[in-house]
Amino acid sequence: MLTLTSNSTPNVRRVLRGAAAAFAIPLLLVACSSNDKAEAKAADSVTIKDQWVKAADGGMSAAFGELSNAGDKARTVVSATSPASSKVELHEVVADAGGTKTMRPKAGGFVIPAHGKVELRPGGDHIMFMGLTGPLRTGTETPVTLTFDDGSTTTFTAQVRDFSGNQENYAPDHASGAQAPAHGG
């Protein structure tokens, strides 16, 4: 019924284009909301407890805690950010044949099994603060935001605590590491 013909005036064409755009927007909204209902986000099923950050005057520090996944599907933390550090990495600690422990970025991030837990602790997996923006004083708190593989995010507040154990070396990549100073993680 509404067919554009060569004798349509420019005015009529503009009106018809506007009508088509108005119809397209509600259709997009419906598509998005039905998607959200079909699948829960990782941020809705993963929680953290006993979270804390190591006190430091500057340089580097790390955040720890116990991640729990209440969902039926494994979830993966792929990155983290914090206003306390200009750069944040997800680290693991590995020991070489001689027993020397080295921390390095964990390939693939932290995988939390369905109905399972991942403990972030000194000497194990941890959230590494690579460049503190200021001192982290005992008794204060700092927010940390985790991003999951589905793009959802969750932010928790971690208490700053004194901790002096578990000094490991840091290897930015597998080929080097000799130049990096030892630091806690």
Whose Cβ is closer to Cu ion: residue 75's or residue 91's?
Answer: 91
- The position carrying tokens 């503190």 is 132
Interface residues toward Cu ion, by CB under 5 A: 91, 103, 128, 185
Question: Is beta strand 88-95 parallel, antiparallel or unpaired with respect to 167-170?
Answer: unpaired
Q: How far is the CB of 83 from Cu ion (least distance, A)?
A: 19
Whose Cβ is closer to Cu ion: residue 81's or residue 152's?
Answer: 81
Whose Cβ is closer to Cu ion: residue 74's or residue 171's?
Answer: 171
Whose Cβ is closer to Cu ion: residue 54's or residue 91's?
Answer: 91
Q: How far is the CB of 104 from Cu ion (least distance, A)?
A: 8
Residue 51 CB contacts under 8 Å (≥ 6 apart), including other chains:
63, 64, 65, 66, 144, 156, 157, 158, 159
Q: How far is the CB of 180 from Cu ion (least distance, A)?
A: 10
The string over 55-90, giving b where at least 16 C-beta atoms fall within 10 Å of a residue's C-beta and e elsewhere, is bbeeebbbbbbebbbebeeebbbbebbbebbeebbb
Whose Cβ is closer to Cu ion: residue 75's or residue 126's?
Answer: 126
Of 154, 168, 164, residue with least CA distance to 126:
168
Q: How far is the CB of 50 from Cu ion (least distance, A)?
A: 19
Of 129, 157, 152, residue with least CA distance to 69:
152
- Measured between alpha carbons, how far is 86 from 133 in angstroms, rounded to an integer? 6
Q: How far is the CB of 88 from Cu ion (least distance, A)?
A: 10
